[in-house]
């Protein structure tokens, strides 16, 4: 069924696409190791965050927190804000986004296009700082509705109810699920669902490694672990540097023709690492990984240019 | 407990916030067979660093340590083994970006 009553109704059911060329060759006589890309850029505003945004707004409406004409507040450096902005526009809410000042220009343009108001937080400290500023604003403006994707169970539930079941339905033989670690909602929700179906499925986190500026926190107590995060739901966790992420996102484009955003490069890097281990061990694997969004919003970073290198990412939040 | 003589030398990347302990060095090294030994050896050289990483002999909540990009909390934490050529990175915990 590809006909929907509205844009919102077309959420999810994104394609799972095989990567016949990027999947590593198995040793002779050994079972295949296959990579599968879950194309979350095919959501209404082009990212996996449409699932989170719609679930959080639905939940806030159901519980009565969100009333007609209300103002929604959210710390985001892009996709969640874009998703919320679309739903807010369609349903008649206002949106205030708190965003690190060094995010790419396209993200500001897109948010403003959908009518969101942007409040910038200092680049140093990255998302941690945006979360801190948003929490302050929430205290100062008690009439604003703070959905807070890092601690909102509706975020995890969205992936438990949609992303996880979709992957399992399309790939019942899935052995590994690899996704990015931000709010941790995708891994917590989809991971929990998949492990309930088959406890042997490995749930693998790929965490983008930021530039120096983000780790220059004022003190270590300013570190941040999202309230949704529960390490017991994860099997392994990788930190992927900018250079590896850029290399992989280009490979995805060059070898399979898929134009993905940069954080997908980090996820693919972890997926390929796991795939190689499986090949070396002579075991078969069906590795599903998340393509968070397409590359359009990151063109201005220059990473897709032939002559550019990953250094262009230094000093800007890229994931 | 100090590392045995045969322990491999491990390179460790230090985040900005901890460089006051390492004379501003970004990369330091020490000999160790596992992560616990490594932190002890580092603390011998850079007094006070160990306390910033550990609390009651466990990794602090807002500290993440990676061996070759993999989080040690999923590899046995302080018991995670080290071999020649391994690279260790220490980072404060930060949330994801645009997600």
Q: Which residue on chain B is closest to A318 by alpha carbon? A: B97
**Using N-to-C axis directions, what is the helix angle for A262-281 and A242-256, rounded to 10°?**
80
How close A75 comes to chain B (CA, Å)?
A: 9
Q: Test B98 with A214 for CB contact under 8 angstroms.
A: no
Indicate if A30 belongs to the active site: no
Q: Measure the CA–CA gap between B42 and A240, rounded to whole angstroms.
A: 24
Is the pLDDT assigned to residue B76 strictly greater than 90? yes
Cα dihedral sign, A307-A310-A311-A315: positive
Is the pLDDT assigned to residue B1 strictly greater than 90? no
pLDDT of residue A308: 59
Task: State the catalytic residue, choosing from A47, A49, A121, A297.
Answer: A49
Task: Give the pLDDT confidence of A110-125 residue by residue, as tens digits.
Answer: 999 999 999 999 887 7
Q: Test B16 with A212 for CB contact under 8 angstroms.
A: yes
Percentage of chain B lying above the pLDDT 70 cut: 91
Is the pLDDT assigned to residue B9 strictly greater than 80? yes
How close A180 comes to chain B (CA, Å)?
A: 8
Q: Test B94 with A219 for CB contact under 8 angstroms.
A: no
Taking 70 as the pLDDT cut, the residues of chain A under it are 306-319
What's the gap between Cα A94 and its chain centre?
Answer: 23
| Interface check A49 vs B, CB under 8 A | yes
| Interface check A191 vs B, CB under 8 A | no
How close A31 comes to chain B (CA, Å)?
A: 26
ipTM: 0.90
The shortest CB-CB distance from A127 to any of B61, B74, B97 is to B97
b/e string for B10-34 if b means 16 or more Cβ within 10 A? bebebbbbbeebbeeeeebebbbbb
Q: Which residue on chain A is closest to B54 by alpha carbon? A: A220
pLDDT of residue A124: 79
Indicate if A49 belongs to the active site: yes
Give the E-state strand segments of chain B in sequence order. 9-13, 27-31, 54-55, 58-59, 63-67, 70-71, 87-92
Task: Give the pLDDT confidence of B42-69 residue by residue, as tens digits.
Answer: 999 999 999 999 999 999 999 999 999 9
Sheet holding B9-13, edge to edge: A16-18, A33-39, A285-291, A176-180, A202-208, A236-240, B70-71, B63-67, B87-92, B9-13, B27-31
How many Cβ pairs closer than 8 A exist between chain A and B?
A: 125
Confidence of residue B99 (pLDDT cuts 50, 70, 90): very low
Query: A135: Cβ–Cβ under 8 A, 6 or more apart, which residues?
Result: A146
Task: Give the pLDDT confidence of B13-46 residue by residue, as tens digits.
Answer: 999 999 999 999 999 999 999 999 999 999 999 9
Q: Measure the CA–CA gap between A185 and A183, rounded to whole angstroms.
A: 5
pLDDT of residue A306: 66
pLDDT of residue B4: 52
How close A266 comes to chain B (CA, Å)?
A: 11
The tokens describing A18, both together, are 């095989």
């Amino acid at each position: 069924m590809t006909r929907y009553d509205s844009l919102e109704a077309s959420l999810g059911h994104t394609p799972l696409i095989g990567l016949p060329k990027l999947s590593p060759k198995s040793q002779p006589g050994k079972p295949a190791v296959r990579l599968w890309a879950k194309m979350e850029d095919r959501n209404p505003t082009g990212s996996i965050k449409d699932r989170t945004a719609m679930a959080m707004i639905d939940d806030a409406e159901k519980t009565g927190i969100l009333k007609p004409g209300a103002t929604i507040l959210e710390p985001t450096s892009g996709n969640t804000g874009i998703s919320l902005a679309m739903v807010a526009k369609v349903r008649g809410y206002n949106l205030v986004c708190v965003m690190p000042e060094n995010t790419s220009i396209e993200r500001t343009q897109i948010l403003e296009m959908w009518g969101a108001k942007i409040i910038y937080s200092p680049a140093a400290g990255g998302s941690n700082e945006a979360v801190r500023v948003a929490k302050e604003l929430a205290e100062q403006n008690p009439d604003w509705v703070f959905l807070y994707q890092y601690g909102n169970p509706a975020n995890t539930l969205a992936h438990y109810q949609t992303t996880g079941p979709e992957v399992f339905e399309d790939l019942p033989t899935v052995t590994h699920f690899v996704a990015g670690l931000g709010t941790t909602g995708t891994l917590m929700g989809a991971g929990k669902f998949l492990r309930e179906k088959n406890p042997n499925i490995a749930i693998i986190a790929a965490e983008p490694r930021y530039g120096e500026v983000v780790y220059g926190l004022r003190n270590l107590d300013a570190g941040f672990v999202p309230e949704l995060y529960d390490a017991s739901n994860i099997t392994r966790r990788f930190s992927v540097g900018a250079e590896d992420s850029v290399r992989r996102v280009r490979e995805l484009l060059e070898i399979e023709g898929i134009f993905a955003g940069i954080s997908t490069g980090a996820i693919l890097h972890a997926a390929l690492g796991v795939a190689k281990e499986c090949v070396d061990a002579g075991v078969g694997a069906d590795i599903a990984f998340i393509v968070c969004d397409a590359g359009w919003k990151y063109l201005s970073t220059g990473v897709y240019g032939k002559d550019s290198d990953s250094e262009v990412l230094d000093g800007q939040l890229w994931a | 407990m100090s590392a045995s003589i045969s322990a491999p030398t491990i390179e460790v990347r230090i985040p900005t916030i901890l460089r006051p302990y390492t004379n501003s060095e970004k990369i330091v090294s020490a000999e160790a067979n596992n992560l616990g030994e490594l932190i002890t050896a580092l603390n011998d050289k850079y007094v006070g660093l160990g306390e910033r990483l550990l609390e009651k002999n466990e990794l602090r909540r807002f500290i993440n340590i990676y061996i070759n990009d993999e989080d040690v909390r999923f590899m046995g934490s302080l018991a995670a083994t080290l071999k020649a050529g391994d690279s260790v990175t220490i980072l404060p915990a930060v949330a994801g970006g645009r997600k």
